[in-house]
Chains A and B, each alone.
Chain A
């Protein structure tokens, strides 16, 4: 079994080197640093229960504001120090990664699917459907994301599921706009007309002939939106309109750090660094994907 799969992989490698061009040297040109960082975040989030040295919830009032281990008074049992309730910061960071990634992926998936469907429909059918969908999308663009999310948090109450819904509500418009534009350029191509002449139904046309051609820019947009969502989620949790405490999230950790800013810099610095590293690696990966998937840019 193992040998068989190895043989198949060998064949695939040969095939890849033969079909020169598109796939040659992909592995050499992969953006290593962002991928490694991202992999680290995903791994840490998945294995949070095994990795975390201390519980992210356990309070120890005697150990409040313990500094990171390299400073005076720091211990290795709390490598990045403790917060105002004596909770381990490293452990809260690790569990926070779980929330950030979960919210980022879930919101982009939900908003992406809804936006893509609406964009395909608007672009393909046109007419009043197009007008209604795109005017609604325009309105979403003029509503400031964070304020809208705050309004919805007050209306529906804070919570993880509501947060994902709110973010998806903001995101769908971005996907719809992109997919509609791409659909409009695809729709007038000869292969679509030919498929139509060949008796292809409209849903099948959309799914089989148009959607695959929209996929590349869609993947790039989705990647970049994950970074955006992570920042917005952190902002909302910071404002008290995101994931409610005591669930550890980077945004709430920064907010607690601000409250005790004179007591210790490590409370607000580490969760912020985590946000920056995650978002930076997602953005770099998105930029790379855009250059790689766009043949015009790749030739440079």
Chain B
């Protein structure tokens, strides 16, 4: 188990390094990174000064060293638009995104469990068909457009809910529903639960529980569901990071003050330090959640840690 955890840790570290090299490299692909975010009318002396201040006149590996040591100290540079350290901006915005995504996951799970279980038990029935159609739609409807449609119906036409911005608890409803319904969360969990339940229901121990004469609901809820849960837990864990990063469009639609909206504003203002940091933070969160899920999975399923990856 220790070897397994160590291997996963090393892998995550390598990924972090590769990601930092990519982000570092992108800024230098167009030439000098200061040109991306300094105003066009800056004087050559000022430009020279800025280049020297940021160490951009040093060799490339020294520059990378400066970049990484900044990251490790939590120094992500300063926002061109807000005139504030980027780390402060992200610390202000990240909780808004996290609470929204957690709520969306909760909604998706509450809806997905009954749907997934019924779909598996009544294979080919109307609920099964509904689950499959919703999965297909979840794949084809762009999340942000689904959000706009919800906004159009529930905020503009019916006036039940606020249109945008984070003002009260009611402001959470539409963006969270959007991510749950159209962010592939609901469809993904339903599909996964259905297939893994079908697989488990076919196994020997479920047959044995039935032969023992246990009531059907005990067989399903206690014996089958518990074992069908492992892949669902993995999916939700991995998806948390992806949703956190992928909430850009939804936050933009609902003017939600999270890191996604921050990224959108950064693109509008060509605020290079901000967009670069959001990418780095998002990638770090994804790598970390994957690491945690991998390790948890190793505990849950002994076959994995003794199997191929030792």
Contacts and interface: CB of A to CB of B under 8 A. Distances in A.
B248 A147 contact: yes
Contact of A156 (B30, B140, B252, B287): B30
Interface of A: 135-136, 138-139, 142-144, 146-148, 150-156, 227, 231, 234-235, 238-241, 254, 257-258, 261-262, 265, 268-269, 272, 275-276, 279-280, 283-284
B266 A147 contact: no
Interface of B: 14-15, 18-19, 22-23, 26-27, 29-30, 36, 136-137, 139-145, 148-149, 151-152, 156, 163, 242, 245-246, 248-249, 252-253, 263-264, 266-268, 270-272, 275-276, 278-279, 282-283, 286-287, 290
Contacts of B145: 234, 254, 268, 272, 275-276
Contact of A231 (B36, B142, B266): B142
A282 to B, nearest CB: 9
A144 B151 contact: no
A156 to B, nearest CB: 6
Contacts of A138: 15, 18
B240 to A, nearest CB: 13
Q: Which of A148, A265, A268, A280 has the most CB of B within 10 A?
A: A148
11 contacts: A138-B18, A142-B15, A142-B287, A143-B19, A144-B282, A154-B275, A261-B148, A272-B149, A279-B139, A279-B142, A284-B136
A110 to B, nearest CB: 17
A291 to B, nearest CB: 14
Contacts of A240: 264, 267-268
A243 B156 CA distance: 29
Which 6 interchain pairs have the tightest Cβ spacing?
A144-B245, A272-B145, A139-B18, A280-B140, A279-B140, A142-B286
B36 A154 contact: yes
Given A142-B287, A231-B140, A235-B248, 6 more contacts: A144-B286, A147-B278, A153-B267, A262-B156, A268-B149, A272-B148
